[in-house]
Amino acid sequence: MSEIKMTVNGKPVGGDVADNMLLVEFIRETLRLTGTHVGCDTSQCGACVVHVDGKAVKSCTMLAAAADGAEVTTIEGVANGDLHPMQKAFNDNHGLQCGFCTPGMIMSGIDMVNRYKAEGKTLDEAAIRHELEGNICRCTGYHNIVKSISQAAGEM
Ligand code: FES
Ligand code: FES
């Protein structure tokens, strides 16, 4: 067991965790923040993406103990009063069907827009499709997800 402390969505949290507890288990089962999803056991689907110290991370690939001291943001933490521009863009463009992949798509989308802006690069359709390689959607065919991220990139 390890004692960990971190900030999740701006709030200090912590506790004793088993050394093999995954960050996604800590988020979902200990903190009860169930917007972060688990869609695979092979680290492929991206439904579990959160931000750790400002970077997108598949939370099923990280131990909770490894996030000790980190600033974590989950899908529950991205709206600030009003919807985040990425959430609004998914709503405007029908960027989801069943919604299972959507939290991870939104967290990955925010991360890619922030990275491209910081590097002064253009996030065009080809770049969005390339960046989405780690996020699987079983419903939409991706077209409206790409449109959503493209809209948000212009507004963020
Ligand atoms: S649950 Fe993490 S990548 Fe699928
Ligand atoms: S909307 Fe159903 S998996 Fe993407």
> Does pLDDT of 80 surpass 90?
no
Domains of the chain, by residue range, sit at: 2-77, 85-155
| CA of 47, closest atom in ligand 2 | 3
Ligand nearest to the Cα of 135, by number: 1
Number of H helices, E strands in the chain: 5, 5
Topology alike, domains 2-77 and 85-155: no
pLDDT more than 90, % of the chain: 99
Atom 3 in ligand 1: residue holding the nearest Cα: 43
Output the pTM of the full model.
0.96
Calpha distance 11→145 (Å, rounded) = 30
Calpha distance 67→93 (Å, rounded) = 34
Calpha distance 63→107 (Å, rounded) = 19
DSSP character for 142? S
Local confidence band at 12 (pLDDT 50, 70, 90 cut-offs): very high
Q: What was the pLDDT predicted at 37?
A: 98
Residue 4 parent element (H or E)? strand 2-8
CATH number for the domain whose boundaries are 2-77: 3.10.20.30
**Stretch 122-147: mean pLDDT:** 97
Decide if 102 contacts 48 (C-beta within 8 A). Answer: no
Phi, psi of 4 (to 5 degrees): -125, 155
Atom 2 in ligand 2: residue holding the nearest Cα: 98
Topology annotation, domain 85-155:
DNA polymerase; domain 1 (1.10.150)
Residue 133 Cα to ligand 2 middle (Å): 15
Decide if 8 contacts 77 (C-beta within 8 A). Answer: yes
Residue 24 Cα to ligand 1 middle (Å): 9
Tens digits of residue pLDDT in 94-121: 999 999 999 999 999 999 999 999 999 9
144 lines ligand 2 (CB under 6 A): no
Tens digits of residue pLDDT in 32-77: 999 999 999 999 999 999 999 999 999 999 999 999 999 999 999 9
> Does pLDDT of 5 surpass 90?
yes
> Does pLDDT of 91 surpass 90?
yes
Residue 144 Cα to ligand 1 middle (Å): 22
Tens digits of residue pLDDT in 22-44: 999 999 999 999 999 999 999 99
Q: What was the pLDDT predicted at 131?
A: 98
**Stretch 8-19: mean pLDDT:** 97
137 lines ligand 2 (CB under 6 A): yes
